[in-house]
Amino acid sequence: MQSEDKNLTTTILLSSISFIIVSYLIFRTSLPKLPDIFLYNLIIIFSLHEFGYNRSLFFLGASIFLTILVSITTHFFYVWNVPVFFITFLIAENEIKKHNYHSHIMETRIEEIRENINILEDDHARHKKEAVSLEKKEGRYNSLKDVVSVLNSTLSMEDVARKIMDNAFNIVGKSDSGLLFLVDTVKQELHLALSRNKISPEKIKTKKGDILDDWVFKQRQAFLTEDIKKDFRFSEDKFNGYERLFRSVISCPLMEGHKVIGILRLENSKPYNYTSEDLRLLDIICDIGAVSLQNAALYKETLALAIRDGLTGLFLRRYFLDRLKEELSHCLRNNSSCSFLMIDVDNFKNYNDEYGHTAGDMVLKAISKVLLNFVDSGIACRYGGEEFSILLPDASKKEAIRIADNIRKAVKKEDIELRRVKTHITVSIGVAAFPEDAKIQDELIMKADERLYKAKREGKDRVVID
């Protein structure tokens, strides 16, 4: 700015001095006028070039007009009136230019302030959005505090699985459907434990999962795909025939140490639905859920040990009697029937005396294996020593007789090798039906037990029904 003002002042001085000199030459000397007028024109051209055509022309015309006006009114004509007025207008123009410059500076400052206001408003909106997002995250993570107590409130595998799914839907959200797979530890493969669909109650046909579940199972890593159609890891043709439509997926393994015990998967029909934050939340839920599943599994194993015989794997007598009581109550309420079998191994003492107690255990295991093949809907029990009992719900006496005879034949066909000697065993069976033979539990057991010993007295290896 200072450089421009200095240049302008210099130009004004040069123009003014030139005008005075030339004016003097034209009006006060007898020199030829044409060269002086030509020089006058050069000065005017110089002014036009320096100040701009319109501006210089205006100032020059104004100067001449004022000079003529003064000369007419005063009857005097002063040569220096032209440059004086010209200089006056140049000074005025310079002030105007300064004013315009300051106005421009103010406008620039105002524009900068407006830009800063816009930036601050954008920052405020962004920070407000971030605050809402953080508040939402805080709420989601606070809800994780209740997950542990909720999942630990039950020791049932089914209830734990359901609550894992509930928490995943409630905390992560954004999901149309969810799948929970558990791992069959014997076959080392996935099987569907629970599914949920908020849009339609469709049945899941892929009971063992698809390529996404296989990937999580083998890699033992959490999985996120924003759009399955654009994921280079999985070609689209591998999903042909897959009946459920989805675009975005998050999936996490439920880990027991370094072993996968399950997979939880959430889906949405829209792409770019899940974020890494959603995957992190799901991973935390799966970590907590895996511990709850382990506790439920241990409880189930403990419960099984408490109600099952360690040698044969059959139910113990106390649990069996409780179940028998429940079944008889059910039969009374629904006016239905059930049957009870009492089974005893023939000549069992001889096996122990001849081959030892280890041989006796082998005989009991062999019989237990046969019994389990005939109790799909019933309950088999080691009643005591070499005695067994079977409860057949909703079975008539005629059907119970048929099953008892099939058991007897199957046991007789079993080859048991005791000290490298193959032998066969037989059993005697007593059958009693409710309410045909007895109206109460103790009477039913007593009837079956009496008929068992009757079978032994009559020669063993037989079924007695009355």
Angle at 282 between CA 242 and CA 280, to 5 degrees: 120
β partners of residue 318: none
Maximum Cα–Cα distance across the chain = 173
Looking at this protein, which amino acid is placed at residue 382? R
Is the dihedral angle over the CA atoms 80, 86, 87, 89 positive or is it negative?
positive
Contacts 24+ apart (CB under 8 A), 319-324: 319/381, 320/379, 320/381, 320/383, 320/389, 320/391, 321/441, 323/379, 323/391, 324/379, 324/391, 324/441, 324/444, 324/445
Angle at 105 between CA 101 and CA 107, to 5 degrees: 115
Report the distance separating Cα 409 and Cα 412, nearest Å: 5
387 within 8 A of 342, measured Cβ to Cβ: yes
Whole-angstrom CA distances from 366 to 60, 311, 411 are 130, 11, 8
Q: Which of 402, 411, 413, 410 is nearest to 348 (CA)?
A: 411
Active site residue 386: yes
Strands 427-434 and 463-464, bridge-based pairing: parallel
| C-alpha count within 13 angstroms, C-beta hemisphere, residue 413 | 8
Q: Which of the following is catalytic: 236, 386, 417, 450?
A: 386
Report the distance separating Cα 378 and Cα 374, nearest Å: 8
Q: Which residues are catalytic?
A: 386
